[in-house]
Amino acid sequence: MTDPMKRRKDKEIEQLVERFFRADTTLAEEHELYEYFQRKDIPQEMTALREMFCGFAVAQPSPTNASGVLPTAQKPSPTNQPAQPKILSRWHYAAAAAVALLVITGGSWAYHLHEQRLTRLTYEGSYMIVDGQRIDDISLIQPQIEEALLAARRYEESLSDN
């Protein structure tokens, strides 16, 4: 290859590399990059990319079949459009949201049960006499117990302020 032709090819490869990093290359263009970086005579400034593209080349199947022609399934489109990345469907997002909702709901429910258990353990044996009847249902007397504890704290604070 003559020197001006080689420089033009190197410039085209530089543009392909830029497009590669923007995910704007077709499979055929990517394979062109893989082949280019396997050559010995690449410019010094491109040698840093050689290992990466050679690694990609090893991981990719060859774009040609035994006859050297691109298979139909891998031919670039007439407009030479890049391959589009796979986008998650709405079902994936809905499933992720449902899982998140289940985790949050389950966590809230477990926390509520834990709080109820702690309340029962804390106030176990407590009771009130209202109109001559003993009430020992914690869920009924807990607000009055907490109100009494709050009043006691206020009283203690008033004593410590003096």
Question: pLDDT tens, 8-61?
Answer: 888 888 888 889 888 888 888 888 888 888 888 888 888 888 888 887 777 666
Q: In a 10 Å sphere around its CB, with 0-12 CB exposed, 13-18 middle and 19+ buried, how is residue 48 labelled? A: exposed
At residue 34, what are phi and psi to the nearest 5 degrees? -60, -45
Give the whole-angstrom CA distance, residue 123 versus residue 142. Answer: 8
> What is the mean predicted confidence (pLDDT) over 112-124?
85
Helix (H, G, I), strand (E, B) or coil at 114: helix
* DSSP secondary structure code for residue 68 in this structure: S
Tokens 């604070």 found at: 157
Decide if pLDDT at 116 tops 90: no
Give the model confidence (pLDDT) of 53-104 as tens digits. Answer: 887 777 666 555 444 444 444 444 555 556 555 666 778 888 889 999 999 9
| pTM tops 0.75, yes or no | no
**Would you state the structure tokens that stand for residue 117, as one six-digit string?**
């258990």
Between 146 and 85, the more confident residue is 146
Between 64 and 142, the more confident residue is 142
* DSSP secondary structure code for residue 132 in this structure: T
pLDDT of residue 66: 46
Q: Is the Cα dihedral 151, 154, 155, 156 positive or negative?
A: positive
pLDDT of residue 73: 45
pLDDT of residue 30: 86
